[in-house]
Amino acid sequence: MKIKWIVSEKNSGVYSSFYNRAWPSARYMGADGEEYTAGSITSQSAYKPSEVKTGAHEPLHVHVAVWENPRIPSHAAFKQQKIGVVPSLTEAKKLLQDYITAHPEILPPALCFAQDAPSKKAYRAKP
């Protein structure tokens, strides 16, 4: 399962100094072409690429999105579950990837029922 990491845009404008940049979040690409939340990284310090390179930031908390009611797409939702605290961004990404690989039951709805769902052709009315 490949994870796509999303980094928030750098704040700009007159009041940009009042806002902190968020740490990267992870997403899956579902079988239906939609993106689903896989997890996120949080920290007491704001995301600053220069601090990430030097490691001069607070410890990183890694959270995974645990999907509930995955077989009923209209009722599917997720909750964030903390899976660990690590010192670097590289280790945080690896921890999330390893956890998702080890626990496929937390997959988002489109990935859970993609194999056994009937095709769209079955629902089309014949002209």
Per-residue model confidence (pLDDT) at position 120:
40
Task: Delimit the domains of the chain by residue range.
Answer: 4-8+19-115
Separation between Cα atoms, residue 70 and residue 110, nearest integer Å = 8
Separation between Cα atoms, residue 40 and residue 77, nearest integer Å = 16
pTM exceeds 0.85 for this model: no
Q: Are strands 25-29 and 4-6 parallel, antiparallel or unpaired?
A: antiparallel
**Residue owning tokens 């993609």:** 114
Per-residue model confidence (pLDDT) at position 42:
94
The H-assigned helical ranges of 1-127 are 49-54, 89-102, 109-112
Residues 103 and 38: beta-carbon distance below 8 Å: no
Q: Could you report the per-residue pLDDT of 77-99, keeping only the tens digit for each? A: 788 999 999 999 999 999 999 99
